[in-house]
Amino acid sequence: MRPIDMMVTDLNAEYLGVPRLSLMENAGKAIAQEISKLIDRGHITIFAGTGGNGGDGFVAARHLLNMGFEVEVILLAHPSRIKSKEAKRNWEVLEKMKISPAPLKVRIISDSSQLKALDSTVIVDAILGTGIRGKLREPIRSAIKIINDSKALKVAVDIPSGVAPETGEIEDIAVEADYTVTFHKIKDGLRMADPTFTGEIIVSDIGIPSICEIFTGPGDLLRLPQRKGSSHKGENGKILIIGGSAEYAGAPALAGLAAFKAGADLVTIICPESAMIPIKSYSPDLIVKGLPGDHINPKMLNKITEMLKRVDCILIGCGGGLEPETGDAFNLIVREIMGMEKPIVIDADGLKLIKKDTIKDYPNIILTPHEGEFRKFFSLKSPIIFEDFKEKVTAYHSISNNINGVVLLKGPIDMIFHREKMRLNNTGTPAMTVGGTGDCLAGITASLWAQGLSAMDAAALAAFINGRAGEIAEKKQGYGFTASEMIDFIPEAMSIPSTSSDIT
C-alpha cells in the first residue's frame, strides 16, 4: 500500500464514521500489546514526534503503564508543535498522568545537546510516520543515532524514522529496528526497505473497515498535487474540449467551467461556428475556437490535430450531436489522440458515436457513461438487473474489463472500474437529475487528470466532488438548482476537512 493510499483511507474512515481518535487508540494499544509479547517487564523509552506517529506513541505509553512497565516519553519538540488534535489530546492525558503514582517520566527535548545515552529494555521509535518527507532535522537526527547506539530492543511505529515511506530508501540515517509494527496494510516503503532497518514487520488491524478503500471520501482530495509557488500559466492543466453543435452549445461550456473550478489553468473549446457565440457567452474565461459547419465533421481534423499537441487532456463528446459526420470525425480524432498517447475523456454523444473497437486497447482513456450509454457502448441488448448490489457491481465490472481504460458509470451510486480495481461513490442527490451535471462531471474528470492524478484516481475523485457539489447546492438552494449554479460549489466541495492536515 502506498503511503498516500493509507492517508486517504485513514481520512475516509473518519468520513464513514470511524473517528481518528479511535484509530489512534487502537494503534497505540497494538504497539503496547506487541511489546508485551517480547518482554514481561523492564524500562521502555518512547521517542515521539509531533505528528500522528507521536500520538500513537503517547497512547502506547498509557497502555504500557497499565501493563506494569516503567515508561519514559521523550517528545522531540515543544508540545505547542504537536500537529494533530488527536495527538494533542493524548499528550494532555500523559501530562495529567505525571502526577499519578504510575512509573511515568516525560521529557521535552528541543535541542540535541539535551539528549544522552539510554539504559532501556525497549526503545520505541514513534518519531516520524509515513507522511513525512525531506531531510532529517535536529534533534531528530541525533535521537536516531542514540537509538541505534543503544543495546535495547528497538520497535518502530508504522515505519522506521528515516526510511522513505514510498521507496524504502534512506537519504541520511534511519532507525535500525528489530521490529516494525505497522497498521492496516504493509506500506510500499516497508516492503522495499533493507530488513536491517525494518526488522520483523508486524501488521496490526486497528479497525479500519475494508470498505474505506472502496468508497470515495474527502481523503481522496489528499491526492491532489500541491501547486508550486513558481508554477506558471498552463502548468496546472490545459484542457481541450471537442464538442458542441447548433442545438447543444451549453454542454461543452458547462464542462469547461467545471474544469476551471476543479483547478485547470486553461480550457479551450473547439466547436462548430454555429455554437461558438453561445458558448463564448457563458464566460470570458473560456477560449472558444469555432470551425466552419453546424456540427463537428472530418473537414475540421487538421486544425483539431494542431490543437491536440498543445494540451494535457482532451474531453470529447459533450453536446456534439449525433450526425453521422460527427461520428466519423470523433473516431478520426480519437485515433489521432491515441497516436500521441494523450489522455482522453469520452462523454455523452462521444459514447454513442465512438466505436468500442477503436479504443478498447488504449489505456489512457476514461469513459463517463450513464447506464443507457453504458449498454449502448458495450452493445448490451437488455438492462443489467440484479437484486443483490454486489452481484450488480460484479457484472458491470466484468463488462467494463472489455476495454483497457477506466469506466466511470454514473448512477445513484457511481461505479469506477479499471481492470481489477474498483471504487464506489455515494455522494450526490436526486436534484442532480437536472441537465448538465454529467457535463460538469466530465469537465472535473478531465481537469483532475490534467493536473497529474492517475486516470483511476481522477475518475473516482471527480465523482466525489461532483456529487458533493450537488449536495451543497441542494442544501443552500433546494432542489431547484441548475448545473450552472452547481458549478460554483465545486471549490467548496474540494475543501479538505481540517482533520486531514495532521496526517503524518
Q: Could you read off the pLDDT of 385-396 as tens digits, one per residue?
A: 999 999 999 999
Percentage above 70 pLDDT, the chain:
98
Taking residues 205-218, report their average pLDDT.
Answer: 97
d(CA 471, CA 448) in angstroms, rounded, equals 20
For residues 437 and 227, which has the higher predicted lDDT (pLDDT)? 437
Predicted pLDDT at 4 = 94
**pLDDT higher than threshold 80 for residue 340:** yes
Q: What is the pLDDT of residue 498?
A: 64
| pLDDT surpassing 60 at residue 259 | yes
Helix/strand/coil percentages in the chain, nearest 5: 45, 15, 40
pLDDT digits (tens, 9 = 90+) for 161-200: 999 999 999 999 999 999 999 999 999 999 999 999 999 9
**pLDDT at position 246:** 93
CA-CA-CA-CA dihedral for 135, 218, 15, 433, to nearest 10: -170
Q: How much is the pLDDT for 227? A: 87
Do 86 and 52 meet the contact criterion of CB atoms below 8 Å apart?
yes
pLDDT of residue 503: 38
Q: What is the mean pLDDT of residues 136-163?
A: 97
Q: Which of 136, 137, 160, 158 is nearest to 147 (CA)?
A: 160
Q: What average pLDDT does this structure show over 74-101? A: 94
What is the average pLDDT across 327-349?
A: 98
What is the average pLDDT value for the chain, to the nearest integer?
96
Higher pLDDT, 101 or 239: 239
Q: Where are the beta strands (DSSP E) in 394-483?
A: 406-409, 414-418, 421-425
Of 119, 120, 94, nearest to 107 by C-alpha is 94
* Helical packing angle, 437-450 and 455-477, nearest 10°: 140
Confidence band for 100, pLDDT divided at 50, 70 and 90: confident
Q: What is the mean pLDDT of residues 366-386?
A: 95
Cell of 67: 501493563
- Mean pLDDT calculated for residue range 270-278: 98
**What pTM, to 2 d.p., does this model score?**
0.94
pLDDT in tens, 408-420: 999 999 999 999 9
What residues contact residue 179 under an 8 Å CB cut-off, 6+ apart?
34, 38, 153, 154, 155, 156, 199, 200, 201, 202
Which strands form 266-272's sheet, in the order they lie side by side? 287-291, 266-272, 238-242, 313-316, 344-346, 365-367, 406-409, 414-418, 421-425
Residue 86: how many other CB atoms lie within 10 Å: 23
489-493-498-504 Cα dihedral, nearest 10 degrees: -150
Rounded CA-CA distance 120/359 in Å is 63
Provide the pLDDT confidence category of residue 265 given band limits of 50, 70 and 90. very high
At residue 504, the pLDDT reads 36
C-alpha cell recorded at residue 489: 460549489
Three-state SS sequence of 135-187: CCCCCHHHHHHHHHHCCCEEEEECCCCCECCCCCCECCCCCCCCEEEEECCCC
Burial class (CB in 10 A: 0-12, 13-18, 19+), 278: middle
CATH architecture of the domain 223-494 equals: 3-Layer(aba) Sandwich (3.40)
For 81-90, write each residue's pLDDT tens digit. Answer: 998 999 999 9
Look at residues 289, 217, 274 and name the one whose alpha carbon lies nearest to residue 465: 217
Fold topology of 3-213: Rossmann fold (3.40.50)
Q: pLDDT band for position 98 (50/70/90)? A: confident
Asked if omega into 369 is within 30° of 0 (cis), the reply is no
| Per-residue confidence band for 266, with pLDDT thresholds at 50, 70 and 90 | very high
Bridge partners, 168 (sequence order): none
- Residue 71 β-bridge partners: 44, 104
User: What is the rounded distance in angstroms from the CA atom of residue 145 to the CA atom of residue 160?
Assistant: 13
Q: 271: which DSSP letter?
A: E
- Local confidence band at 500 (pLDDT 50, 70, 90 cut-offs): very low
Report the residue count for the chain. Answer: 504
Q: Look at residue 101 in the predicted model and tell me its pLDDT.
A: 80
**Euclidean distance between CA atoms 344 and 381, whole angstroms:** 27
- Contacts of residue 268, defined as CB under 8 A and 6 or more positions apart, other chains included, come to 238, 239, 240, 241, 286, 287, 288, 289, 307, 311
Non-local CB neighbours of 86 within 8 Å, separated by 6+ positions: 20, 21, 24, 52, 55, 502
Q: Which of 23-32, 91-100, 460-469, 476-485 has the lowest mean pLDDT?
A: 91-100
Provide, rounded to the nearest whole percent, the portion of the chain with pLDDT above 90: 92
Bridge partner list, 155: 124, 179
Give the model's confidence band at 247: pLDDT under 50 very low, under 70 low, under 90 confident, else very high.
very high
Categorize the per-residue pLDDT at 369 as very low, low, confident or very high, splitting at 50, 70 and 90.
very high
How high is the pLDDT of residue 17?
A: 94
C-alpha span between 376 and 163 (Å, rounded): 50
| pLDDT score of 328 more than 60 | yes
Is the torsion defined by CA of 174, 180, 184, 189 positive or negative?
positive
Q: What are the residue ranges spanned by the domains of the chain?
A: 3-213, 223-494
